[in-house]
Amino acid sequence: MNTNVDTHLGTPAPAGADPSSRTESHSSTTAGADANASPDSKPSFNRFLIPIVTFALIAVVLAVGIKHSGDVGVIHSPLIGKPAPAWNLPLLADASRMIGSKNLQGRWYVLNVWGTWCYACRDEQPALLAIAHSSPIPIIGVDWRDDDAQARNWLAQLGDPYATVATDHDGHMAIDWGVYGAPETFLVNPAGLVVFKQIGAMTPEVWRREFLSRLPAELAGRSS
């Protein structure tokens, strides 16, 4: 008995079947499978395109932010242009006496938050001493979360640039003023408004650029 064999599949074909039809059928099936598989065989660009677009958008946002920010790296205080929070603290020299915002009404003053545990405070001490020597604006020191005896010894060794020093043992005033860490220095005008806030150590350059430039001409001119 004659048996037609599908040489492609390696299995017998039913009796009476037309071998050519099996071949055409298989060819059609193969072509259809190839057509269906072709999209999967192409590289999937979406998986690469989405991260690239995301990165580009982030880069644009950062570039715009840098372009429009003249103070990159500066943390701006919400107190700028607003009344300085009221405060009243004991003096380092005599804890039975107090000093506060009421004692400084109607005058320019600089408020410097520091501590003996602060390395940057030690670094800025020479600049503060030079400013205190040349400027008519008093520097009020706030010794923050510190030991009084250590603070007094520290000033005796390194020099005392302050018109007076208050102690903020529990950090309550620092919280009210939005202090992030020592040293921080504020400029307050006679109306009691915070004009500027310096985060980090004071330097002669910062003093001239950010503090003297905001003082009235008659006061700035008296600072050498």
List residues bridging with 6 in a β-sheet: 11
pLDDT of 74: 53
Strands 109-114 and 98-100 come out as unpaired
Which ranges of 81-146 does DSSP label H, i.e. alpha helix?
119-134
The more confidently predicted of residues 102 and 64 is 102
pLDDT of 7: 40
Measured CA to CA, the distance from residue 124 to residue 197 in angstroms comes to 15
The more confidently predicted of residues 74 and 7 is 74
Number of neighbouring beta carbons within 10 Å of residue 204: 12
- pTM, two decimal places: 0.68
pLDDT of 62: 52
Look at the block and give the residue holding tokens 């008995």: 1
pLDDT of 223: 72
Task: State pLDDT tens for residues 39-88.
Answer: 454 555 566 666 676 667 776 545 544 444 444 445 678 899 999 999 99
Which residues are CB-neighbours of 75 under 8 A, at least 6 positions away? 180, 199
Q: What is the SS3 assignment for 88?
A: strand
Which residues are CB-neighbours of 196 under 8 A, at least 6 positions away? 80, 186, 187, 210, 211, 214
- Above pLDDT 70, what percent of the chain? 68
Q: What is the SS3 assignment for 194?
A: strand
User: Is the confidence at residue 128, as pLDDT, over 70?
Assistant: yes
* Minimum mean pLDDT range among 29-38, 177-186, 193-202: 29-38
pLDDT of 92: 98
Q: Of all helices (H) and strands (E), which one includes residue 38?
A: helix 19-41
pLDDT of 109: 98
List residues bridging with 140 in a β-sheet: 111, 164
**Could you say which DSSP state residue 80 is in?**
B
The more confidently predicted of residues 22 and 136 is 136
Measured CA to CA, the distance from residue 110 to residue 224 in angstroms comes to 17
Q: What tokens does 124 get? A: 């800025």
Number of neighbouring beta carbons within 10 Å of residue 82: 11
pLDDT of 58: 73
**Could you say which DSSP state residue 138 is in?**
P
Nearest residue to 189 via CA among 134, 84, 129, 108: 108
For residue 21, name the pLDDT band (cuts at 50, 70, 90).
very low
For residue 218, name the pLDDT band (cuts at 50, 70, 90).
confident
Task: State pLDDT tens for residues 134-186.
Answer: 999 999 999 999 999 999 999 999 999 999 999 999 999 999 999 999 999 99
Beta strands (DSSP E) in 15-163 are 88-90, 98-100, 109-114, 139-144
Contact (Cβ atoms closer than 8 angstroms) between residue 90 and residue 167: yes
